[in-house]
Every structure is written in C-alpha cells, then in structure tokens.
Chains A and B, each alone.
Chain A
C-alpha cells in the first residue's frame, strides 16, 4: 500500500473548485475551445482561462493552439496517481484477506 500524497493532494486541490471540476468533467466528453467552454458555463472567458491554466499546471489537461483558438482536452495520465492508489488498495486487501482466512483456521471457534 503506497501513498503519494503530493500528487493526490494536487489533484484534489485543483478539482476542489466546483467550476473547475465542471469544466474538467465537460472536457472528459471531448476536446473543446475556450470560447466553446465559456458558452457552456455562466462564467467569464478570463475566469475559464484561469481555471484551464490551473488544470493544465496540475497535469490534468493539455492544450493546443489552432489559429486564434486554444483547444483543451483531458490528459488521462493526470489522474494516474489516484488510479494507482486504488490499484494499491486492491492488492492490499487481496493480501490481507488471505491472512484473515489463515487466522480463522487457527482461531478457536
């Protein structure tokens, strides 16, 4: 069971903001331009850009420029620390529950 609090803390911290989380969830449905994202939410374009910058810094999204537009998409690898953490727990329980069965065998009823 390993823990990498720094990477997880960073992910949670960035996603703790409801608007930012909504933008991120919206991007999980596909790539979108800043302008398009702004039209989906009732917040200003600078605010959307600021949220996107925070998401990018945390490694959760990637951007590319095309002409005057900047397009954003989810970088699935950004969530890897959290997914790894869950995988660690699956291994942790498998191991420890085998020990539980061994213990039950030697315990008095």
Chain B
C-alpha cells in the first residue's frame, strides 16, 4: 500500500487519499459496505442500507462537546466502484467518497472528504456554501502569520 496523502497544499477544504490495495475491488467493496467488516476498520455502524437517501449513523467514542455520533446519508452506491455518503458532525457537513478502480495488481482506491461547509440549521439562516479556494487563501494567511 502506498498511503499517499494527495491533498493539494492550497486546497485544505478537501481531503484526498489514494491507496493501492493488492485485493480485488469486490473485496474492498465488502469491507466498505458490510457492517461487521466496516466496524473492524472504521467505526460501528447502525442502520446502513445501500439505498439512496437512506440515513445511517457511525459511532465514535464520545468526547467533550460531541456524543461521538456521525450522521450519514447514502448519496450514491455503485458496486463495486463508487460509494458516496454525507458525513455530518455538529455544524460541519461534509461528503465522503470512495472510488475503486481495478488495477493489474488489485485496486486503486481514492478517498475524498469534501465540503467542510456550514450545515443547514435554522440558526445559520439556511446557509450552505463550499469553502473552496476561500479557505485555501485563509490557510495561506495562517501560514504567513506563523
């Protein structure tokens, strides 16, 4: 495996990883979608159904200010190629996408977490916007200030 963090330096609003696995996409897909397997590498999952718009939750250890629940909604399931779901913790509303491509040696998996945008809550006036380069520019400012 080449655990490569491919996040472009100025695009901190997106997290992107590329991995090469010596396993077929069908097998990787099972690890991404079967609750008993998902629990062994990611987090315990409740109510996971591979149907569009189906809500499910992931459960991390509770921490101060957060009960550990990740609220998800399935956005896309195309076995064994593409799995996309929302990943919402508190005010932060992101989307996680797994893309699997067969290679000569197994599977190339791309993981992206995008968004990092305001959640639609009445308190936020229904605000919802991407950070894009806007946040990138702030990160540059932060680096300059350091």
Q: Which residues of chain A have a CB within 8 Å of any CB of chain B?
A: 1-6, 8-9, 12-13, 15-17, 21, 25, 28, 74, 76-77, 79-80, 82-83, 85-86, 89-90, 93-94, 96-104, 107, 109
Provide 27 A-B residue pairs closer than 8 Å at the C-beta atoms, listed in order of the A residue: A1-B60, A2-B63, A5-B89, A9-B123, A12-B91, A13-B124, A16-B118, A17-B125, A21-B129, A74-B141, A76-B138, A76-B142, A85-B116, A86-B116, A90-B7, A93-B17, A96-B42, A97-B3, A97-B17, A97-B19, A100-B42, A101-B21, A103-B37, A104-B23, A104-B27, A107-B30, A109-B24
Q: Is B73 engaged at the interface, CB distance under 8 Å to the other chain?
A: no
Residues of B within 8 A of A28 (CB): 134, 137-138, 141
Least CB distance from A93 to B in Å reads: 6
- Residues from chain A with a CB closer than 8 A to the CB of B134 are 25, 28
* Nearest-Cβ distance from residue A60 to partner chain B, whole angstroms: 10
* Cβ-defined contact, A12 with B118, below 8 A: yes
Separation of A17 and B12 alpha carbons in the complex (Å): 22
User: Chain A contacts of B123 at CB under 8 A?
Assistant: 9, 13
Q: Which residues of B contact A (CB under 8 A)?
A: 1, 3, 5, 7, 12-13, 15, 17, 19, 21, 23-24, 27-28, 30-31, 37, 40-42, 60, 63, 65-66, 89-92, 111, 113, 116, 118-119, 123-125, 127, 129, 134-135, 137-139, 141-142, 144-145
Q: Taking the nearest CB of chain A, how far is it from the CB of B125, in angstroms?
A: 5
A contacts with B: majority SS: helix
Q: Which residue of A lies closest to B23 (CB)?
A: A104
**B41 adjacent to A99 (CB under 8 Å):** yes
> Which residues of chain A are near B5, meaning CB under 8 Å?
90, 94
B31 to chain A, nearest CB (A): 6
In the complex, A4 Cα to B31 Cα: how many Å? 30
| Chain A residues whose C-beta falls within 8 Å of the C-beta of B124 in the assembled complex | 12-13, 16
